[in-house]
Structure 1
């Protein structure tokens, strides 16, 4: 009987400690409020109607280095070009139609699922700081990610895509994301935040692949809206 009492007391103590630990976690809104402050504030980002980044791309497992540029325009247009000399990645989205240019130079339209994903994930302005864009989100725990203590968030998009995001406890900055894809988990780490026109941006993004790391290093950032022609789908792409 005494043993049963001890077990019951231990269970009660464990549940109390777990409840206290949960109570110490912030809400999703609080995490994103701190994130917004850390990167320059929602008001500053709300003024952004376009953005261009230029830098280098390192394909570590292939020993290849080249140039990298990414452009975005309101409300959700995107163009990314990685030129490695022997190979080139060229992908775009005009807000409706997405495409990728093959190594042969032929452009191919992306699948409907890929276009929907791009339409939801490409964000210009302060939309990336708005938690209402998620179908579900929760703060699950504190966990070390990429060497720093982070809040671990489980997020489900309105399209049903699931991912885990990590926000540094001390600074509020987003430090990484793990996304579920048909090819398996894609792990990204956001490092070396720097200020550009008062807005903090990670200048080194490490994408972990089964073959090895892909490292995108940003050297230049402009918030001048890019030329609209950058987002025009290539000739021959069905609309």
Structure 2
């Protein structure tokens, strides 16, 4: 009887240990992804000139292309940012220029059909506010409620890009594709929850 109790107790301890390992593994995995994400973020910051240089940039102009896959459209985009939280985007799609901006308090857009500036709805306003964060999102993410996690690698045209996921406090996220040698951003991919 005593042997069967000891065996039963040992079996329960082994089962409990295995169950706890199963519960802590995702937590440890998430912690590892965050730790590695911070390492890649620091390398990305360094590749762009370092913390000191980035903190001195007060305005920036970026150009690129964009795709709206679900709508089957693409176009060009020019983005102007001014630290700490202002931005303007001009997008040319199918011959129309769409202007969207955030002035630090209010998000607005020019209706391409009427040419009249209109305040954006709340969800679009929140999206613009996130985009206007500028370098603070990189340099002081904790202050902004932003976390970064390493999400593996993705092969694009024979280059294994590092995936660095940026997640905002409200759950919205974007993924940076970092070149494995230079740590410069190859592309950014995002998806709105709405």
TM-score higher than 0.5 here? yes
Alignment partner for residue 106 of structure 1, among 109, 116, 131? 116
Matched with 2:151 is 140
- By percentage of residues, which structure has more strand? 1
Greater RCO between the two (CA within 8 Å, min separation 6)? Answer: 1
Q: Does 1:72 align with 2:81?
A: yes
Q: How does 1:59-208 map to 2 (within 5 A)?
A: 69-82=78-91, 86-103=95-112, 104-125=114-135, 127-132=137-142, 133-145=144-156, 147-182=158-193
**Partner SS for 2:134:** coil
Partner of 2:138, secondary structure, is helix
Question: In structure 2, what is the Cα distance between the partners aligned to 1:72 and 1:167?
Answer: 21
Distance (Å, rounded) in 2 between the aligned partners of 1:109 and 1:138: 34
Q: CA RMSD in A?
A: 3.5
Q: Which runs of 5+ in 2 are unaligned?
A: 1-31
| Rg comparison, structure with higher value | 2
- Equivalence for 2:7: none
Distance 1:137 1:101 in 2: 33
Tell me how far apart the structure 1 counterparts of residues 93 and 124 of structure 2 sit (CA, whole Å): 24
Aligned length: 159
- Cα distance in 1, alignment partners of residues 159 and 135 from structure 2: 28
Per the normalisation by structure 2, the TM-score is 0.64
